[in-house]
Every structure is written in C-alpha cells, then in structure tokens.
Amino acid sequence: MLRIAVQAKGRLFEETMALLEESDIKLSTTKRTLLVQSSNFPIEVLFLRDDDIPQTVATGVADLGVVGENEFMEKEENAEIIKRLGFSKCRLSLAMPKDLEYPGLSWFNDKKIATSYPVILRNFLKKNGVNAEIHVITGSVEVSPGIGLADAIFDIVSSGSTLVSNRLKEVEVVMKSEALLIGSKNM
Ligand code: PRP
Ligand code: ZN
C-alpha cells in the first residue's frame, strides 16, 4: 500500500486533487476524512495540514507527499524532492507599509517582522547581516503592521492583493515556491 499525504484544504488542495485525477487515482469517497482509500489502486490518501506533511513523509508515516516548497524549506525535515509540480506558484517576500520609503535591506535592522516562516526568514537575515526581531504568528500575518504588532511582514505573496488591501508593499523576494512531490529518503 502506498500512502500519499496531501493538503486537506488551502491553496494546494484543488490542484492536488486534479493531479490525482489526471493520474487516474480514484478515491472511494469524496468526504475528506483523514485517510481515504483509492478504489482502483493500492493507494491511500492522507489529508493533512500542509505544515504537517514534511514530517509525515520524513518519518515514513506517508511514502509520498504533495506540499508547497515554502513549507518544505521551513520544516527542514529529512525528506527529498522527487518532482517539482509547477503549480501553486508563489513567492516568500518581505513587505512593509507602502507609504514608507524603502532604502534597502538595512531598513529591517532593529525592526520587528511578523511571519509564519521563522526558519527561512532567520537564515535570510543572517546571510544578509540584518539584525531584526522575528515575531512568529500562525495566521493573518498581513494585519500585523496595521495593528502595531510588527513593523513589517515576511509571508507568501501570490496575486499581491492581500498586500494591497493591507497597505503593504513587497520589497524583497526571498524565495520562489511551487508545489513539490516529496518522498521518504528510505523509500
Ligand atoms: C497566504 C498569505 C496571504 C495570501 C497571499 O495565505 O498568508 O494571506 O496567501 O496571497 P495573495 O498575494 O494572492 O493575496 P494562505 O491563503 O496560504 O493562507 P494561510 O496563510 O492562512 O495559510
Ligand atoms: Zn499553511
């Protein structure tokens, strides 16, 4: 039995389901229970939060996983990239209030940055010699500057509309991301 971990809901979900369908993997139920059997292959699909997919694959609980590169890089789990899937493209960027002037990376020195991706951000700041405070928050990162919780954010940007509606501007693209097929190293 091959077990594949996929995102239960969120930005990867629709296209992951389409990928399974294109691969002719039929599921026995359309109800999103945790574990669903395929009706035509010896395959089980495990529906999880994207954050939990790298670890689930690294520990061998699932053999394969479909996950965003952002989560894969953030979790630093011992799994490997089998294929870049080319969908759910986005970038992980630093953004700041749009009315302030941006003189370059040094602006972030002594600033507080809200993010759900502290590992990727810490590595980037260190590499660039920037000394900022990282405030970890799991959701609604984009409202942080507006409510005085942080000076800037580090988050996923896709269409950019979330930034616009929160009066923020993207000033540094730290990494690009897309959906990945990952596998256990000892598969
Ligand atoms: C991400 C991110 C922004 C939004 C950006 O959230 O946190 O809120 O997408 O996309 P846009 O540039 O197209 O507006 P996501 O929908 O992945 O949900 P989550 O952060 O709550 O997991
Ligand atoms: Zn998430």
d(CA 125, CA 157): 19
**If you measure from the C-alpha of residue 66 to the centroid of ligand 2, how many angstroms do you get, rounded to a whole number?**
13
Q: Would you say the CB of residue 42 lies under 6 angstroms from ligand 1?
A: no
On whether both 22 and 54 belong to a single domain, the answer is: yes
Q: What's the alpha-carbon Rg for the chain, to the nearest Å?
A: 18
On whether both 72 and 128 belong to a single domain, the answer is: no
On whether both 94 and 140 belong to a single domain, the answer is: yes
CATH code for the domain of 166:
3.40.190.10
On whether both 6 and 67 belong to a single domain, the answer is: yes
**If you measure from the C-alpha of residue 52 to the centroid of ligand 2, how many angstroms do you get, rounded to a whole number?**
9
Mean pLDDT computed over every residue of the chain = 96
3-class state of residue 92 by DSSP: strand
**pLDDT of the residue at 57:** 98
- Work out the burial of residue 179: count CB atoms within 10 Å of its CB; fewer than 13 is exposed, 13-18 middle, 19 or more buried: buried
**pLDDT of the residue at 11:** 92
The domain of 53 spans: 2-88+178-184
**pLDDT of the residue at 153:** 98
Give 97's strand partners.
168
On whether both 44 and 102 belong to a single domain, the answer is: no
On whether both 99 and 82 belong to a single domain, the answer is: no
On whether both 126 and 75 belong to a single domain, the answer is: no
On whether both 81 and 105 belong to a single domain, the answer is: no
The one-character DSSP state at 12 is T
Q: Which of 87, 143, 158 should be mutated for ligand 1, with most atoms under 8 A from CB?
A: 158
On whether both 156 and 103 belong to a single domain, the answer is: yes
- Residues 66-89 have pLDDT tens digits of 999 999 999 999 999 999 999 999
The domain tally of the chain equals 2
On whether both 124 and 155 belong to a single domain, the answer is: yes
What string of pLDDT tens digits covers the 187 residues of the chain? 999 999 999 999 999 999 999 999 999 876 667 999 999 999 999 999 999 999 999 999 999 999 999 999 999 999 999 999 999 999 999 999 999 999 999 999 999 999 999 999 999 999 999 999 999 999 999 999 999 999 999 999 999 999 999 999 999 999 999 999 999 886 6
